[in-house]
Structure 1
């Protein structure tokens, strides 16, 4: 395979390139727009260059591909190209025809930020002059700092957020097809089913997430790719904070149109149910916490764990398990000291050291701070930069260490919207929690994490103190 810097226009007559017009809508009129006899010129930006590879032996090949400043990403791009060409050549050989086939590839470059770049490859294959030209759009998005490729789920706060995007687009296209036939609905539902393969052809530019849907994927009448742009300001509830760079964060906060996150959808569904949150302090413990996690998993009950930094340092795998099982992990500071009695510098260290360790262990910041003994001040709350979670029902498990008494206290004091305080470092507390869960379920309560409880009934704000979340 030879690398050559060539003028692209010289080879155009050889390839007879025909690229279908990208349709921005799914309506029948737009999708039947005629193809044009032109090609998309490769476009790059500062810090990226265009490499050209050509062959004119068994097949006619002209390929453009980008080169970045990352050696690792360049190797992946070249590997991708080799795989595409290998697949093309294999298909050409299988046709067993003497005429040459052709393969053309150009690309366009999109940049969200200094760290995140997307490449859209426009590919035309013709395994033989006797066969029709096949066009394809392939996209690659990279985090240049981390030197890794980003898939659609890497952009979202959680996997279920793809459902929100799917529903939004389904509603949008359904309105444009008026009235949509049953067959059109089936095609649209299938093409927009919230699975990765349906949404992994995308690019990120400076203000939009752009999807490319293959011919017939969402519209049975179109023979061209359908391009759909979603403004990032409308996706502020769905995408991860790293996507909302520069002005986008402020625009997302002010946007009148906001695609709801999966969490917001769940919160809306929860709002009118009898809710409560079980919380556990002072862990993790190598004996009692795993036993509690087993009970919670069996009962399908989410909980919130306020972990001590000094114990997280000893048993990180247990906290990883808490997080993996869908529980909320918050901070209980590092050493369980009475914060108002400390100099502000020490308070900051107690909070920061635990926050840094949670971030390192789980990849996310602590979800809430519970100050030891519930002791805090407005100044401490401001330092925390996370919601301050107190409680409305104290099980007194630390005092009684008796499962019967724990059950009695909780059942006497619980109400809709309660935040229940327990500890995961006593066997009696684990036994008491098992009993409480069964009793409260029989009374029609739904268990949620603290954040889910608060968001179902109001708004979660940093440095604000929460004791409960009543309607």
Structure 2
């Protein structure tokens, strides 16, 4: 009987051993990948656009940093095409990092994948990706990619179905673009007419660089494609009313130019209505709480509630590519009397960019916040605290850094954040946190309680400086 039991148990143990081998092998592989990739953070948020969420992935490594933003839809078929593009782009960058022997320790390589979204008609959007990678120098790869999803019919729209493609229509498009480039003060000094001619004559040109808004059709060119590199990614917007004869019958019928209407109401102007100046009793210690990388659709609002409870003011250094998604939150921050700062458009290391790219990162964010609030940001903070004389000269205003880095993005531990504050805070401290993390909301409550008990007044960075 014992012998039969051995014969029965041994095969089971053998099978179990094989299964466990593969399980642990798989876990080891995952562990190696995790160690190689470092701490990765992925977050999904609702956007202000129906049917569109935003996925953010941030990966910090000694040799590189990576920041990816892309949309998520309700339909898996739409998501698959988007995810395939994002995954391929990411893997190409990581492979290049692996193949680049010159990379030393430190953030010598960077990868940014961001997108802008433009409503066209109901359930149709233009998604415009910008993909940029840098490997230790100022120059890097920069290209764009356009998707036009129809989320009602769960399909992507091909640009060749929007724009007529005949010899006559191509010539007319060429003439419109030629006229626009020559009359654009920013582009005309760097425009290559012969390259535009090559582009329009290319039989493989399917107008994949075209996207729509509710008012215009935009031709977006890659860097160096039809202009010198200093011109960046040139865009020519032609109003739909001027493109009617160049659109296919289906899209001529589907598109409509919206009426130009006035804003429903004037947005609050913090400098006029609320004011950023605070009266702090003489001799009282002051501290400035600052929050980077927002706004966030829920975390920022939770932090605002906590600040209200303590009658505290703070400074929010916002990314333009997030502020444009959450204008109501931008308004709420300002209406409560907090200071809004410019943290660039897409969180790039400005010291790796050209003058024109630095200016664009700053100005795009300034323009968005100005359009929402009616006033520009009152402070500026460079991503990663990366600053040099070139950045300072181009931006033209002082940079606001910090004296205490809570490392909330790294630890995600509210108690550890509080511990760092306790060990380092003094009169005039500027504390760095990030309102995009849920754990930071918990940390803010602890920090506010502690600093209030220690007799600190909460002011903005402009009050400190």
Q: Which range, TM-score by smaller chain? A: 0.3 to 0.5
Which is greater in Rg?
1
What is the TM-score normalised by the length of structure 2? Answer: 0.41
